[in-house]
Amino acid sequence: MKITALLLNIAVFVTTFCTPLQQSFAQSVNNRDLINREITDSDVFFQEMLRKPRPARDNTARVEALLKKMTLEEKVGQMTQLTLGMIVSGADQNIQIDQAKLDKAIGKYGVGSFLNVSDQALTIDKWHEIIGKIQDASMKTRLKIPNIYGIDSIHGATYVQGATLFPQEIGMAATWNPALMNRASEITAMETRAAAIPWSFSPVLDIGRQPLWARFWETFGEDPYLAKVMGVSFVRGLEGNDIADEKHVAASLKHYMGYSLPVNGRDRTPALIPENYLREYVMPTFAAAIKTGAHTVMINSAEINGVPGHANKKILTDMLRGEMQFQGFAVSDWEDIKKLVTFWKVAADEKEATRMAVMAGIDMSMVPLDYSFADILVELVKEKKVPMTRIDEAVRRILKVKYDLGLFENPMPSQSARNNFGKPEYAQVSLQAARESLTLLKNDNNVLPLSKNKKVLVTGPTSDSLISLNNGWSWVWQGSEPSLYPKDKMTIRQAIESKVGKKNFEFVQGTRITRKAGSPSNSTPTDMDEEVDIKKAVDEAKDSDVVVLCLGEGSYTETPGNITDLTLPEPQLKLAEAVLA
């Protein structure tokens, strides 16, 4: 009698960026990089992470001395962050620094931070070329203040080609292993810093309680205790005991706070959160990570109870600074000061929006596509609408992080830091994380493990897709460029075939998930379902002992991944119903 194994592959629990899952675990258990599964009690581990020592150095005197030398324009420059596209020409792997654009950004405006990629993940050599020129330009300025480059290292150094990727946060949460999370983020930090990037926009500490939300899989799930423990482990892995150490980077806790609970499930839309709920379920992850010493936070792009995150003084100052005693700097999310005018409509113009955001507690603006923030903020200070004390407060926080990172001494990493990239043992940690994240919901009639003596059919849209096994933030923003995925990593189809052998194996696509033809991979999700050969899949199923039916999602993140319900697309439902009939 035919047995159907329903494998619902939601693209977040396993990453194939490790040695194939089917290799013998016995080959790797002695590797020194693996984490002993028999770890201590989670709360004991959590308290240990909180107690780890921090360096005794105090850069206050250096910060204050530099601050006194700075002009208003230089201070505002430090509060300005632009995307890489503002200073390069070309596309994809062929981008080059445009010297005129760089001179304007750093020479004229003194921009203190850049972020992002120009479409695709770059090689480590390309990152050194790009960031090296940015730091060279910074060293030619009057005060020689280094630039701080930021990137979204979400589940590994996701924008550095050849880096080690790990399961997404929801998958790491399924391991229930904070020591493993800590080791994975240590590797992420080393491979990010090796590329000359000292600042990661991670971890996501939003609580996962709205399943429609397009970034649900970026969270540690619904439980604030589990999310708190895993979040602190992530932060300590990134930052270590000293972020000046070239094995570590500054973390950015995001998205502070309430971002993940939109009423309608759509990204960057309003949330209604009673204060008792906010304090009990939303705040603990951030409070714990701040207690462990995290250096930066990124702000909620949406609104809570009618107040946009970027204009919410209670959240940004009273709670963050007053209650949680956060000492680092707060950076806006993408273009979110402008959106106080264009989307939330709480400000009449960008000048009013800038004043509102800065006075609420934003220290650095991810502008990121023009110089409006710098021009407007200088005007506001000269008009005495924003006091110089507030500017000094923000710049003081930014300079402290730059000093703590050791950027004034070493704006670029040493060769030894580069040598931390791509070590073979990292793949073993990724493999362990992938294994421990696997979650078996049901095994009726002991259908698993599969027998080599039974004929197996593999079918479904996620069965032969590395994209579905990794999802967003994988080499491009939407994770949707197949050409960038390593060719030596196995899909589900390939892995099962390698185990059961060609004699007892059959593959039929059934349906597929694609992205729109000719669309840019960086900004286009893989979300178009289409039928391929459902009838053939049904015919082969009749002649098979076991059907591995792989359903689920392609790749997406943020607003491009918005959905209105949790129902599988019609072609997938049609395939499943036909095969199961």
Q: Which two tokens stand for residue 575?
A: 């395939």
Sheet holding 505-508, edge to edge: 3-9, 546-552, 456-459, 505-508
- Give me the torsion for CA of 170, 171, 177, 183, rounded to 10°: -100
DSSP 506: E
Structure tokens given for 203? 């971890």
Under 8 Å between Cβ of 564 and 534: no
Q: Is residue 110 exposed (0-12), middle (13-18) or buried (19+ Cβ within 10 Å)?
A: buried
User: Please, are residues 235 and 189 in contact by the beta-carbon 8 Å criterion?
Assistant: no
The residue whose two tokens read 């240590």 is 186
71 Cβ neighbours under 8 A, 6+ residues apart: none
Contact 524, 480 (CB under 8 A): yes
Tell me, what amino acid is at 413? P
**Is 558:214 a contact under the CB 8 Å cutoff?**
yes
Beta strands in 329-433 (DSSP E): 329-331, 365-366
Size of the chain, expressed as the number of residues it contains: 581
Task: Give dist(CA 242, CA 248) in Å, integer.
Answer: 7
Q: Residue 187 — φ and ψ, nearest 5°?
A: -65, -40
CB atoms within 10 A of CB 18: 23
Taking residue 358's Cβ as centre, other Cβ atoms within 10 Å add up to 27
Pairing state between β 296-299 and 303-304: unpaired
Could you give the 3-state DSSP secondary structure of residue 38? Answer: coil
* Residues sharing a CB contact under 8 Å with residue 203, sequence separation 6 or more, in sequence order: 169, 185, 231, 234, 235, 238, 251, 253, 254, 289
Q: Is-catalytic flag, 333?
A: yes
The Cα–Cα gap between 92 and 117 comes to: 9
Residues 369 and 471: their CA atoms lie apart, in Å, by 26
Distance CA 215, CA 318 (A): 27
Q: Read off the amino acid at residue 255.
A: H
Task: Retrieve residue 508's tokens.
Answer: 């039929």
The candidate with the shortest Cα–Cα distance to 297, out of 322, 262, 332, is 332
Residue 460 DSSP symbol: S
Using an 8 Å Cβ cutoff, are 375 and 354 in contact? Answer: no
> In Å, how far from its chain's centre is CA 281?
21
Q: Which of 119, 152, 267, 333 is catalytic?
A: 333
What positions carry a catalytic annotation?
333
